[in-house]
Amino acid sequence: MAKYIIKRLFYAVFVLFGVATIVFFLTRLTGDPIAIMLPDGATDEQVAELTAALGLDKPLLEQYFIYLSDLLRLNFGESLRYRSPTLGLILERLPATLRLAGTAMLFALLLAVPCGILAALKRGTAADQGIMALVMAGQAMPVFWAGILMIMLFAVQMKWLPTGGYGDGGLRYIILPAIALGLHLMALVTRLLRSSLIEVMGADYIRTAKAKGLRAKLVVAKHALRNSMLPVVTVVGLQMGALLGGSVVTETVFAWPGVGQLLVQAITYRDFPLVQACITMLAAVFVFVNLAVDIIYVFVDPRISYS
């Protein structure tokens, strides 16, 4: 297991290097940040002075190698807009993003697991059809559209919840963005768990367990559910990264002060160092979540070995 983890960490370095390289060159295609930072009547001398001060007067390859050398020292640069280290800005916003993604994940699993089990055990009945209809609706709705609908209904019309923002950090501020972000994952896990459980329930060892006289609840909980969770764990792990990516849209709709909103603002102001740092950090979280999922596999299914 230790060798496998070291090997995956070695590969992660190359993945993050590729992400950092792609992001560096793509940000340069968005335009000149000097045009946004200076007023319209700025002179050529002012433009040249600010360009030199930000290091943007150097050749592109030289800027790239400076950027890579800074990354090796875990120096993500200084924000062009905020004039402060990008890492500090991200770490300041990261807890809000992780809280939103974690709450969305919790909401999705608390709904998806019982719904998936019920739909599988009641296959073909009205309960199964009703659950699948709701699931398809949840999976079909884009995050931003679901978020706007919930704001109009629960915040504007009924006035039950705030329209957005972080407020005092209370639960009422996170309910709508977490539901909007977790809807797609809830629908995906429900469908996957239902199909996986239906397949497992037809296996020989399940029929043997029933023939021994074991209670139906025990057969489902101890035998069927555990063996049907492996694909669910895979999808949940991969979707954790998707939740962090989807939080960009959700945080913008609900004015949630997380890394996603920070990234949108950085792209708007062509803040190259901040864009690069945000995407690199999100990619790092995605890579390490995938590694954690692979390790969890061993505990979910003892037949898997990475030795």
Residue 84 has pLDDT above 60, yes or no: yes
Q: What is the mean pLDDT of residues 225-242?
A: 74
Q: What is the mean pLDDT of residues 269-285?
A: 85
Domain count within the chain: 1
Residue 216 pLDDT? 64
Residue 223 has pLDDT above 70, yes or no: no
Instruction: Determine the Cα–Cα distance for residues 16 and 130; give it in Å rounded to an integer.
Output: 43
Is the pLDDT higher at 293 or at 158? 158
Residue 37 pLDDT? 73
Residue 298 pLDDT? 65
Instruction: Determine the Cα–Cα distance for residues 50 and 37; give it in Å rounded to an integer.
Output: 9
Residue 139 pLDDT? 78
- Orientation angle between helical segments 171-201 and 126-140, nearest 10 degrees: 130
Domain assignment present for 291: yes
Domain assignment present for 93: yes
Residue 62 pLDDT? 85
Is the pLDDT higher at 273 or at 54? 273
Of 101, 104, 181, nearest to 138 by C-alpha is: 181
Domain assignment present for 261: yes
Q: How much is the mean pLDDT over the chain?
A: 80
Residue 246 pLDDT? 65
Burial-class residue 307 by CB neighbours within 10 Å (0-12, 13-18, 19+): exposed
Residue 305 has pLDDT above 70, yes or no: no
Q: How confident is the model at residue 225 (pLDDT cuts 50, 70, 90)?
A: low
Q: Which two tokens mark 178? A: 């977490």
Domain assignment present for 25: no
CB 180 within 8 A of CB 252: no
Can you say whether the dihedral through the CA atoms of 235, 293, 231, 15 is positive or negative? positive
What stretch of H or E contains 241? helix 230-253
Instruction: Determine the Cα–Cα distance for residues 274 and 199; give it in Å rounded to an integer.
Output: 47
- Structural domain harbouring 202: 86-300
Residue 307 has pLDDT above 60, yes or no: no
Residue 63 has pLDDT above 60, yes or no: yes
Residue 168 pLDDT? 77
Instruction: Determine the Cα–Cα distance for residues 223 and 205; give it in Å rounded to an integer.
Output: 8
pTM to 2 decimal places: 0.77
Domain assignment present for 218: yes
Instruction: Determine the Cα–Cα distance for residues 62 and 68; give it in Å rounded to an integer.
Output: 10
Q: How confident is the model at residue 252 (pLDDT cuts 50, 70, 90)?
A: confident
Domain assignment present for 21: no
Q: What is the mean pLDDT of residues 53-81?
A: 83
Instruction: Determine the Cα–Cα distance for residues 257 and 165; give it in Å rounded to an integer.
Output: 7
CATH number at 216 reads 1.10.3720.10
Instruction: Determine the Cα–Cα distance for residues 132 and 158; give it in Å rounded to an integer.
Output: 28
Instruction: Determine the Cα–Cα distance for residues 132 and 136; give it in Å rounded to an integer.
Output: 6
Instruction: Determine the Cα–Cα distance for residues 262 and 252; give it in Å rounded to an integer.
Output: 9
> What percent of the chain has a predicted confidence (pLDDT) above 90?
0
Residue 207 pLDDT? 66
Residue 3 pLDDT? 75
Q: What is the Cβ-side half-sphere exposure of residue 240, based on CA atoms within 13 angstroms?
A: 20
